[in-house]
Structure 1
């Protein structure tokens, strides 16, 4: 389940939004926004901290600490409840639209009486918003984008939310007497970026004990359906969970069947039919005799169909069957292959932990090398200066090799880098002579998302052509469920990356997962190299790499495709080749 920190962070962010909606002090709202980020990124569980310990978290003062303790102790915060009561339900519904801020939501409610997403869409099509101050055609276009995002989500949640819940359920059910095997399946096992519901599979001779334990889970809010082999529940996370119990000797067939995808399963069943067989969740059977041939492991099922075992992230009917028949399935990159993280932040800019804490945590990950890439000065809110960056560089050099790391004699090698801002014309922060002093430069788009397609494409291509830019960070800038990717000609960008030797980032943060797996597949055909990075702004966020690796696997990437799986010498050679 989610840490208390995540729940408290969500509550503090909601409070900041409520302050904005009710016309409260903007500075106070920002204070709560900063506190939400700090709590979400704090390494210790806030439920275990007293007022003094809470006030040691950056941006958490006495008043906020008291609210956190009130929530931990009682499950509610009176100040939040009071503001919630002042906000009409219609406004609360409108704020679910990703691109509609709280003040604009209040404006359309008060001025036009609009109180639902559908009414707002109708008002935009009737051009009724244009008479309101601060609204215009561009605003309408952005709101419609947000409505599309909201509708497209269809109740789906991010992969990290689903993973936390699924792993919690698996841990509980695995401990039930008689449970021989337990795993999650479905789109979560295939590492899809968002999840509609969770499929849990158990192998057991008797299903009743497992079903009882499942329905008794504290986060189950409703039993949708219950039977001897399948039970469906709704949880406090808003996710439905299906539990299926199968005989132990059907485990492999059931895991293959319930992992999917539907299109992949159609192909495997077709192969079975052509061989006079029938494939179901209970096994692979001879059609004429009804004899069960294989079923205990996925490897046996695929093997009897004339295929190698196909990793779940590939099971989307995107050529994996044909590649398997040719013996050409990729040796997919794994989290264990990673030797370092090349995009992270400290409290010098918008991170939450100092350099020393981030580096020590990276060493605990077992990395061989680790890059610090704080923001450059064009993001003025970060107040970066030449002097501050050079002072950090000196400290990085002092700490280089001083953090012991698993399996490495010399300690963690630290790279001093920066995340540059790709400006509207494609330029980046700092002149060439200053950029030449960095070990690594990540360049990312952080603003002007609504430029024309041609302008955005030129902007990214020009950044690729800068000899000091090694990696294009979060290339499409998307935020899952909140902001769509920019409208650029990605094929032109991929071609530029291949031509200039610039790597593309797969940003592992579950809010981003940018590039998407579909984009990775296309970029790979150009010969582009990639970097799977955490973009961590706090110590706990270093752990998100698993989601970036899952996305990389869905893009058919091998270790050779990912530059931060390479030995340090090869990586440094790559970096020098760009400078």
Structure 2
């Protein structure tokens, strides 16, 4: 079920954006941005908290608590509604273009009447921005590139937005009397990093109650189409399609609607060669028309002479051939994860204390847990040697409170353009784990970016390269590097590449991770948690790992503690 925290966090961030667009006070903007992050990362569901309870949330003062309370009781924040009325929705969408800030978006609207991404692109090509202060040729070039980046995701959203919505819908429909089974399918079940729409599948003898419940869901803003067994609705985030099938067709329907299209074409081709017909209704004998399998996915694949293929692999990327040869990998799962090696606390840019994060990690049953706050060269975090050493002592004391978890003191270092990092070797030697990441200079030439990453691998104190491509889905393109050279360096030096599980990163992407696997590289799946709820993002990283064909042996945080510690000590851990 979706938490009220997420709704309120989005509203507070929108309020901050609208203040910025309308030229409001910079301090006030930061206050609301901090409050949005704090509410979104607050471990407790804020539904039901009174104003006093709301004020216990970090960065939530009396005024913001009152707004949250107003929303809880009325479903709206009147000051937000007033700001919305002053700023056209299209102008707010302009601010989603990478490199275009709120002030410049408002200038475009006031001076040129530009109120959409499409009208901005037309204006640039028509030369309509010429003479507008602050919009020279370089700015126009950056805006066109930003529009291109935005267009690559289109109306798709990252999985972290789609998954909670799908799970909430499935839970509500599963509770409808008469519903036998309900699940999401499509690209979401395949754990793709971005989702274009959500496919929900259900079984029931009578579809009418499900259709009525579906169209009445709180998240529904429009009913696009409604039939006896299929219904499509729009939500503020995505379109959602519901299909109700007979109980005995569940397996075939689930296989079909999970996709991908390319995978389904291959399975239908196999069926034809075996004188069978495969559809969403089942597997049929071509000669007799008899249905011979449909109730379970496993039965459908078995009739094709194949073992069940995990959804994350169903992309026609060699999974059919591997299945025929009996060489499908035993994919890493959530249950294999023994710890988290990339997390943050309030000491840098996190929202929870060290003790709160440690308790949450122990509650997840982790055998080990690393705190990796940012190092000094990320200047806004104000990290110092003394702060890091003081935290180290606090980490060492955590074991007495949570004896089942081994706590590691780490840091997330900042790779400068030449591959150097924040602290000298003698200081780095005191950390249990060093993650090194690119946080700036994302547009270096390919050769220099490659050397930057290779030098990080060659640093004996760096054991993990964090979010290696630096991408932010829909906002920032991956860095340009010779990845084959980087992968070879990782394999040579025993440096792990991270799959950052934060939903707007999911970095290393699955395609690159699979290529790295071919070099013998090992991986770390890190939540990059900045708050207690973020620890649960680990599952998105696991999904990417599965799409990359990773087995547990290639993921270092599935290893037993002794093996992991050997790896962190010498980079091998064999």
1:66 has 2:59 as partner: no
Task: Tell me if the contact between 1:158 and 1:193 (Cα under 8 Å) persists in the aligned partners.
Answer: yes
SS at match of 1:285: strand
Aligned to 1:189: 189
Task: Tell me if the contact between 2:98 and 2:476 (Cα under 8 Å) persists in the aligned partners.
Answer: yes
Aligned to 1:321: 320
1:435 has 2:434 as partner: no
Aligned to 2:475: 482
The 5 A counterparts of 1:539-550 are 539-550=532-543
Aligned to 2:215: 215
Question: What is the distance in 2 between the residues matched to 1:331 and 1:90?
Answer: 47
Q: CA deviation at 1:137?
A: 4.4
Question: What is the distance in 2 between the residues matched to 1:527 and 1:137?
Answer: 45
Q: CA deviation at 1:104?
A: 1.6
Question: What is the distance in 2 between the residues matched to 1:231 and 1:26?
Answer: 45
Aligned length: 572
Q: CA deviation at 1:210?
A: 2.3
Deviation per residue, 1:13-33 (Å, 9 max, x gap): 112112222222212211111
The 5 A counterparts of 1:263-412 are 263-403=262-402, 410-412=403-405
Task: Tell me if the contact between 1:333 and 1:559 (Cα under 8 Å) persists in the aligned partners.
Answer: yes
Deviation per residue, 1:325-344 (Å, 9 max, x gap): 01110000000000000000
Change (3 A) 1:87 1:175: closer
Question: What is the distance in 1 between the residues matched to 2:234 and 2:82?
Answer: 29
More divergent stretch after superposition (43-52 vs 561-570):
43-52
Gaps of 5+ in 1: 404-409
1:28 has 2:28 as partner: yes
The 5 A counterparts of 1:38-117 are 38-117=38-117
Task: Tell me if the contact between 2:114 and 2:120 (Cα under 8 Å) persists in the aligned partners.
Answer: yes
Deviation per residue, 1:403-425 (Å, 9 max, x gap): 1xxxxxx4210000000001122
SS at match of 1:540: helix
Change (3 A) 1:472 1:401: farther
Task: Tell me if the contact between 1:401 and 1:413 (Cα under 8 Å) persists in the aligned partners.
Answer: no
Deviation per residue, 1:324-369 (Å, 9 max, x gap): 0011100000000000000000111111111111000000101000
Gaps of 5+ in 2: none
Aligned to 1:244: 243
Question: What is the distance in 2 between the residues matched to 1:377 and 1:75?
Answer: 42
What value does the CA root-mean-square deviation take over the aligned residues? Answer: 1.7
Question: What is the distance in 2 between the residues matched to 1:148 and 1:161?
Answer: 22
Question: What is the distance in 2 between the residues matched to 1:83 and 1:371?
Answer: 42
1:530 has 2:523 as partner: yes
Question: What is the distance in 1 between the residues matched to 2:184 and 2:158?
Answer: 16
Out of 463, 467, 473, the position equivalent to 2:456 is: 463
Question: What is the distance in 2 between the residues matched to 1:421 and 1:125?
Answer: 38
Aligned to 1:151: 151
Aligned to 2:9: 9
Change (3 A) 1:347 1:260: same
Change (3 A) 1:130 1:503: farther
Question: What is the distance in 1 between the residues matched to 2:178 and 2:555?
Answer: 42
Q: CA deviation at 1:488?
A: 2.0
More divergent stretch after superposition (201-210 vs 532-541):
201-210
More divergent stretch after superposition (49-58 vs 426-435):
49-58
SS at match of 1:350: coil
Question: What is the distance in 2 between the residues matched to 1:401 and 1:423?
Answer: 38
Question: What is the distance in 1 between the residues matched to 2:177 and 2:119?
Answer: 53
The TM-score normalised by the length of structure 2 is 0.96
Aligned to 1:407: none
Q: CA deviation at 1:268?
A: 0.3
Question: What is the distance in 1 between the residues matched to 2:181 and 2:495?
Answer: 44
SS at match of 2:199: strand
Question: What is the distance in 1 between the residues matched to 2:86 and 2:258?
Answer: 45
Question: What is the distance in 1 between the residues matched to 2:223 and 2:151?
Answer: 26
Task: Tell me if the contact between 2:90 and 2:117 (Cα under 8 Å) persists in the aligned partners.
Answer: no
Change (3 A) 1:430 1:104: same
The TM-score normalised by the length of structure 1 is 0.95
Aligned to 1:493: 486
SS at match of 1:73: helix
Q: CA deviation at 1:89?
A: 4.8
Question: What is the distance in 2 between the residues matched to 1:129 and 1:470?
Answer: 48
SS at match of 1:31: helix
Aligned to 1:505: 498
Q: CA deviation at 1:525?
A: 0.8
Q: CA deviation at 1:127?
A: 5.5
Aligned to 1:406: none
Task: Tell me if the contact between 2:345 and 2:353 (Cα under 8 Å) persists in the aligned partners.
Answer: yes
SS at match of 1:47: coil
Task: Tell me if the contact between 1:99 and 1:483 (Cα under 8 Å) persists in the aligned partners.
Answer: no
Task: Tell me if the contact between 2:2 and 2:168 (Cα under 8 Å) persists in the aligned partners.
Answer: no
